[in-house]
Amino acid sequence: MQEYAAFTPWQDNRDVMRALDPTEADYANAMEYNNVCQPRKIQNPMGHDLTNASDELRTESTTGILGYRLRRAQLSVFQRFLHIFEEMRLRPAEYSVLLLIDDNPGRKQTEIADALGIKRANFVTLIHALQARGFLERRAAAGDRRANALHLTVEGEQFLAAARARHADMEQQLLSQLGGEESRSQLLALLDRLS
């Protein structure tokens, strides 16, 4: 059976919504985005090659769309992050959680989840995984024993220090690609307008 090519930059609209609430599937998508988003050889059912080597695929309809370009940039950064942190078994959402807990020790789970835009049900699973690895602990929140306050353990602090060093190198690479600190500041300011 011959395969038809599909150029689908977004598998469905749920991909856009999961950008702030990542799942395992999103990380797999980030690792495989080149395979998903790149055009493939086109063949018809008779096995004839429909790809004309002299004709380049026209992509202006998608490359001019802000959402598409933002998603491609996100996937590229995620892919780089996952490669750099593969041996540490650390995902972007986990890194963000560890950073916020380190900067805000003793804050409630709901506060950290809300700050990151992660659904509470998904956040509980993420916290369980980090706790199982010995990186954080939950304690009863002061003044509200029904809520959990989050704290890094000593092991979590050491792990995060190592992760910060790797991430600093990655940020420096991205900064170089952008053309320096001024370009980074401009990009962040533009992104702030969209969020």
pLDDT in tens, the chain (195 residues): 333 333 333 333 344 344 444 555 555 555 554 444 444 454 555 565 555 555 788 888 888 899 999 999 999 999 999 999 999 999 999 999 999 999 999 999 999 999 999 998 999 999 999 999 999 999 988 877 788 899 999 999 999 999 999 999 999 999 999 999 999 999 999 999 998
Long-range Cβ pairs for the range 100-107 (8 Å, 24+): 101/136, 101/150, 101/151, 101/152, 101/156, 102/152, 102/157, 102/160, 105/150, 105/151, 105/152, 106/139, 106/141, 106/142, 106/149, 106/150, 106/151, 107/149, 107/150
Which residues make beta-bridge pairs with 139?
Answer: 149
Q: What is the pLDDT of residue 40?
A: 47
Q: What is the fold, at CATH topology level, of the domain defined by 88-195?
A: Arc Repressor Mutant, subunit A (1.10.10)
> What was the pLDDT predicted at 52?
57
Q: Please give the pLDDT value at position 145.
A: 76
Ramachandran class of 173: left when φ > 0, alpha when ψ lies in -120 to 50, beta otherwise = alpha
- Report the C-alpha gap between 106 and 113 in whole angstroms: 14
Rounded to whole angstroms, the Cα distance separating 18 from 117 reads: 10
Terminal CA-CA length for the chain: 45
What integer pLDDT is reported at residue 58 of this predicted model? 87
pLDDT value of position 71: 94
Per-domain boundaries in the chain: 1-84, 88-195
Handedness of CA 150, 136, 84, 171 (dihedral sign): positive
The whole-number pLDDT of residue 32 equals: 53
Half-sphere exposure for 9 (CA within 13 Å, toward CB):
18
Per-residue pLDDT, 1: 39
